[in-house]
Amino acid sequence: MPITILIGAQWGDEGKGRVVDWMAASADIVARYAGGDNAGHTVALDGEVYKLHLIPSGILHSKVVSVMGNGMVINPDNLVREIQALRKIGVDISPERLVISSRAHIITPAHIALDKAKELALGDDKIGTTLRGIGPAYLDKTGRAGIRTGDMLLDVEEFAERLVAAIEMSNEELRAQGLDTLDALQAAQSYLQAADFLRPYIRDVSIYLYEALKAGKKVLCEGAQGTLLDIDHGSYPFVTSSSPTAGGALTGLGVGPLFVDNVLGVAKAFSTRVGGGPMPTELDGAIAEHFRGSGANFWDEFGTTTGRPRRCGWLDVVMLRYAVGVNGLSELMLTKMDILSGLDELKLATAYNIDGELFAFPPVTNEQLERAKPVYETLPGWSEDISNCRRFDDLPSAARDYIKRVAQLCDAPINMVSVGPERDQLVMNPAG
């Protein structure tokens, strides 16, 4: 380390939570820098399944301090609920173990109402958001009208006043759309209690991290969502409203680039997406069902936050190559390799054919992307269950060839693959 940034290299849900959980064993601090409770990071540990939406996945390691950065948008009620739920199952959470930036923005109940209203107004063109108020909260942030976690340090009347004013402001928008407004005073009540609860956790995260880095601590930055959902670098407007890419870690935590040693990308061994927007390798039918699973297991392809079935398709190397470039990835990690077992053959989209022209990277407009026809390379599949493999050489040769080919096509080494949801279901690839 000192700083390792770990990002999602696809459309989110790459299995970052389990990789962060594994890497956190050698970190002092795990810091989230973007997004809010639209994220759903799942960690399986000793048969227990932990679903984290706001708190960094490092919280499951008792020696790690978890940090929530200024780039996040936080629903205080949901954060308190998450802390209490984790405490109930024995996870120790105190201000020594969880640090919340004073500069993160607060999602109000009115932001959630506005998120729903906006999606409704878009009709068939809706983005398919998680309806957590993410977009409206970031809109108020960049419009310089938001309220911040640091406002919870004010005295209670002053915080209440700001909160009510912010809700009233959003109410005007709801009214303009002919929708029900919120009783601002009532909506603010639970937030006042949450503020009381969260106050001891709030501080200046940038200075906290600067001092920790100067003291030689190792920081792991945990990305949420994925590169292709990035507000700048994703398929706009079908994106989230924050910067999940590596650059977002610096602005979302207030740390300088010279501390960064590594940028790691996590990608699933196939593609998934939730919500609207282009997805060139999307499949219908038996293979999509194979990838998605039945929903009986927590690792099946149904949203952790929304429960929506995920769209599934072959691995899109064009998008992965783009993620390697946009994030400057030093390494890729492939998750869910075990799900590929049992398919006769596997396809990799190595390029797009758009109106007869070949593209190695995504085209610049969504209109072109909508017309993109994947150019597939077919590789042999394997039938063996690989979930007990722990060494690269234990994998069937077809699985090893798949990994090597993806690494070659993306021009990034693949040093780790996961073969199941448990902490130890990992295969290291010393050859990269």
Give the nearest residue (CB) to ligand IMP.
275
Smaller CB distance to ligand IMP: residue 53 or 162? 53
Among candidate residues 13, 115, 230, 316, the one labeled active-site is 13
Smaller CB distance to ligand IMP: residue 174 or 274? 274
Smaller CB distance to ligand IMP: residue 149 or 225? 225
Residue among 229, 354, 395, 427 that touches ligand IMP (CB under 6 A)? 229
Tokens of 3: 């700083």
Which residues in 97-136 contact ligand IMP (CB under 6 A)? 127-130, 132, 134-135
Give catalytic status of residue 41 as yes or no.
Answer: yes
Smaller CB distance to ligand IMP: residue 52 or 195? 52
Q: Which span (87-95, 145-153, 171-179, 235-243) binds ligand IMP, by CB under 6 A?
A: 235-243
Among candidate residues 41, 53, 61, 233, the one labeled active-site is 41
Q: Which span (213-221, 234-242, 246-254, 355-363) binds ligand IMP, by CB under 6 A?
A: 234-242
Q: Which span (11-19, 81-89, 336-344, 421-429) binds ligand IMP, by CB under 6 A?
A: 11-19
Q: Which span (25-33, 35-43, 369-377, 382-390) binds ligand IMP, by CB under 6 A?
A: 35-43
- Candidates 335, 347, 337; CA nearest to 374 is 347
CB atoms within 10 A of CB 249: 30
Determine the length of the chain. Answer: 432
Give catalytic status of residue 105 as yes or no.
Answer: no
275 binds ligand IMP (CB under 6 A): yes
CB atoms within 10 A of CB 413: 16
Cα gap 27→208, rounded to integer Å: 16
Smaller CB distance to ligand IMP: residue 74 or 224? 224
**Whether residue 237 has a cis bond before it, omega within 30° of 0:** yes
Residue among 75, 101, 225, 415 that touches ligand IMP (CB under 6 A)? 225
Residue among 60, 274, 349, 403 that touches ligand IMP (CB under 6 A)? 274
CB–CB of 31/69 below 8 Å? yes
Please list the active-site residues: 13, 41
Contacts with ligand IMP by CB under 6 A lie at 11-13, 38-40, 127-130, 132, 134-135, 224-225, 229, 238, 240-241, 274-275
